[in-house]
A and B are shown apart, each in its own frame.
Chain A
Amino acid sequence: MNYNRREFIEALAIGGGSCLVAMTGVNMANAVELPGSDGRFSASNVEGVLSEIGAAGAKQSSDIKIKAPDIASNGSMVSVAVTSNLPDTEYIALIADHNPHPLIAEYYYSRKAQPYVSTRIKMAKTSQVRAIVKAGGQFYYASSEVKVTIGGCGG
């Protein structure tokens, strides 16, 4: 590109400005880091989801508590709460193993938010509900079986 002096200075100012914005963005987001979603939501089995997240080697941990019913009469509304007692938890993902798309939601936590989530999910049929947790750069999981008498995913 051929710049005359004025254009060059303008380009520099614009470039510098966007650098500054990018840096502020990083500072503000600080602990909330959002990678690309890749194919994780379209994966159709748990192994696929785990490998898309990068959590294939997740270790089971008793420091993750899942509060879910043993039996859900209505699969379209199953209350699930997850608490992670692992230090430096930055990420929690909710997975229902036998759903058409097992990954239901993922949560990225800053230090301001406690590693806890309570929500209501749909379940196609009886399966394990898993919580995948990333803490201190490592992946962990816990699971709890929910028996579903009427599925809630349609199709």
Chain B
Amino acid sequence: MRLAPPGPRDPLKLAAAPLMPPGGRSREAIGLAAAAARGRFMLQVCGECELVQYPPRAVCGGCLGVGLRWREVPAGGALLARTIIRISVDPYFRTLTPWSIGTVQLDCGPQVVAHLHGDVAGRVRMTLKLDKAGQGVMLALPEQDTPDMHDDPAWRALTADPRGRRVLVTDGRTALGQAMARGMLAAGARAVFVGIAEPWRPFDGAGLRMAGIEAVALDVTDQDSVHRMAASLGGRVEICVNTALHLRPAGVLALDLGEARAAMEVNYLGALRLAQALGPAMRGRAADGEYAAVAWVNLISAHALAAPGGFGGAAAAQAAALALAQSLRPALRPLRVVNALIGPIDDEWHQALPPPKLAPAAIAAAVVRALCDGVEDLAVGDIAQDILARWADNPAILVRDVPG
């Protein structure tokens, strides 16, 4: 069923409240959310008897072994039974009925109850997605892609497709911001706004204007500017992508204090100002129709986790930005907070740095893909992926031996 394009909203109708599905989970079950955030289909597997577990638990359901490890498992399965929920006592699901759930026999062993894509029949592809409460839930997809499958209500409730939505890209002066704006437009965004700080400085916006991208005055270091932007756009932006970054290589001892402060002003305080001014307005519109406000995207250098010497001075502001980005998740739900770790960008500030460096368009493409797939945690490019993988493996070793 093809989704109708966004139409005018009845201004006299009360907007649907930004409700969330039940969010309580055991600590073990949060592993599902961690896997879903990365777009991976993972379950606990017993280290002793190899039994795949579901639901998540503390000890193996087969041998009572305690060595359960989260591992990627085969995602195939077969639909055993389908139930259509027409009446629910849960306020969130009441807004979604009729809603399909089903029992699926996973190829890897367990039987699970999953949300069902409307086109599911027989064999299925299982996915783990984050629901509006930020918890990991299973969504069964048809084994092969079907026409307009991304218009399915279950898919849309568990993803953040830019198509038909209005996107704010907070800094349009950089190649990254411009690539992001063009990427969102190519992904079907209904409107794209780019922030332009210090409008008195030269800015050739002709190319952006030709593409249909609108420049708005926005300087994340200026409280008043952020509030004026939020007053103008808070009611008409569904995705915010914060590209206002101050990313420049700098060691610790030679770091200019003005430079350090500028990095903190933009990367941490700028993001904080944006979140405080625009976040509540977007969050309040998180259930406002088919094209409701849906996502907040932070771009953070992977050096927030650990940085080589030449980036040590710049890393503190990135660590602050990462801490903020993680705190934004519970604060902004049911908005999806996407945190993309990136490596050094191929820009004028990294001229002396050898490859690999990230092309702005590659970052934009990765963010669009994450939104479309409902992914919240991603690392873009070789350096960020390497740092993240080694951080997950052993942070104590990583901080003593950072690549780059």
Chain B associates with chain A: no
